[in-house]
Amino acid sequence: MIGDIIKALQSGKYDPDNVVVAMSETGGQCRASNYIPLVKKAILRAGFENIPVVSVSTNPSTINHQPGFKKKFFELLSLCMNTLIYADALLKMYNFLVVREKSKGESKRIYDKYIQYAYKNRRNYVISKSLELLKAAVDEFNRLEYRDVSLPRVGIVGEIFMKYNPHGNFNTENWLRDHGVEVVTSPMNTFFVESLVDVKFNNDNHVEKTGLIELMFHKIIERRVGRYIDKVNGILGGFHHKLTRIPRIDEIEKQARKVVSLIHQYGEGWLLPGEVVMYAEEDVKNVLSLQPFGCIACHLVSKGISKRIKELYPDINILFLDMDADTSEANIHNRLEFFVKNAKNAMELERSKFITIPDKVR
């Protein structure tokens, strides 16, 4: 990532006096907390002393404030959170249809169309407009012809980059779809509101003291996000197939408490096991954890909870895949082949329980 940033700055396409480099920041023990100082060090060595490096974070204590860069925090917060939830809703419909569509590429066309509509809406953003766009997307997805078939469902969890970026995960989602699997993706918005739960937990358990005003502020944000999710779920109810709801962060928190303490806050922390339990509760019995080598959340929490998850849900089929630059793609696909085979066999076994054998055959 640092190489890409330096390459872009040296390309001559950008005015160094009018450029900001923004990097996501998880905070805490996650190794991603080191990205900001590493990026800044590289930019200075490359001779770009005046370019600020800004952390994109929901945690005020980790934000790298820069005097030359001003932003309208509250306007950006509303825009970013609501747009993430809007995109999460589009992805749910897309995931269901893309593996069943009769005309290849149509669901992707609709998905891209409404992402672009949201992008054009960003400068004059209003909540009512985003909800209107989502209703229109539901109507258009409903008109798309698809094969009405039951397919094994695989829920994706893991480190945020590996989960959502096809370059990082060897295009695993499309590989699964090509093998007749419906991919279920956890919502992205929850990664950014996880800290709302952390602040309250840390204050209640004397881990880190938080002022009353800040606690109230976090509660207000959580309620506003929850209300918007409820409205979005109401619109998703109009989709022709019954989809799983977009969960609120407090719902995932309750599921995570069945497995781990909320003190696990590094990277995805308790959010990851919370998502695994949510999948199991929603009858998504196949879970794939995509993780970079050395990721503390994935290796300590994701793998560490496997025994407890098996105790709670004995029929769950879970696979942990390490994704790194020197990982063998053939090895990944080999393990995925067995994983998908188990998923299909389990679905056939479940289906056979409901088949009535005629008396003559008996």
Structural domains of the chain sorted by starting position, each given as residue range(s) with its CATH number in brackets: 2-62 (no CATH), 151-187+247-352 (3.40.50.11900)
What would the pLDDT profile of 234-287 be if each residue is shown by its tens digit? 999 999 998 888 999 999 999 999 999 999 888 788 999 999 999 999 999 999
Give the whole-angstrom CA distance, residue 33 versus residue 156.
24
pLDDT digits (tens, 9 = 90+) for 281-329: 999 999 999 988 778 777 778 888 889 999 999 999 999 998 887 788 8
* SS3 sequence of 67-95: CCCCCCHHHHHHHHHHHHHHHHHHHHHHH
CA distance 224 to 70: 24
Q: Pinpoint the alpha helices (H) of the chain.
A: 2-10, 35-45, 73-98, 106-120, 127-142, 160-164, 172-178, 189-204, 212-236, 249-256, 271-281, 296, 306-312, 329-352
Q: How confident is the model at residue 168 (pLDDT cuts 50, 70, 90)?
A: confident
Residue 83 CA to residue 119 CA, distance in Å, equals: 9
User: pTM for the complete prediction?
Assistant: 0.87
